[in-house]
Structure 1
Amino acid sequence: MDNYYAEKLNSQMLFKVYETQIPRVRQYLKAEIDFVKKNLLNTQSVLELGAGYGRIIKELAPCCRSIVGIDISTESV
């Protein structure tokens, strides 16, 4: 289990998954980000747990005061 995240969920693998997603999955992920953006004030700070390669951070950064992402994978951060 120690190597599970390094082998199966590393940033390169996740990037490939998100880049090849089907339209329905892409729509779901966009709706999820849009919901957070709509409810986020530009004076708030954000902490993303399990940030991966930064897919969500890139989208939310312009909408908040500050944003920090952490991830168990040292390759991702």
Structure 2
Amino acid sequence: MTKTFEATSLDDLKAVARFVIENQDLSNLILLDGEMGTGKTTLVKTIMAMKGVHEVSSPTFAIVNRYDSDDGAFFHFDLYRIE
């Protein structure tokens, strides 16, 4: 399934995060595509905050970050530097 959103504010991102949590099996792969600085990690932070995880950072240099919540482990990959 492909779903496109236009978010221009943090409130918009909260609505997108709510949609993802309510409509997506979070054990599946969710891909976010966009230029650097467009809010991909901010969206991940918003989703994870709603799942009770508040220590979220961009994995640009680590390539992957793992976040543990009551619902299990979530993995946040940044493939920007991968060729």
Q: Which has the higher contact order (CA 8 A, sep 6+)?
A: 1
- Give the TM-score band, short-chain normalised: 0.3 to 0.5
| Structure with larger Rg | 1
- TM-score (norm. length: structure 1): 0.39
Larger % of helix: which? Answer: 1
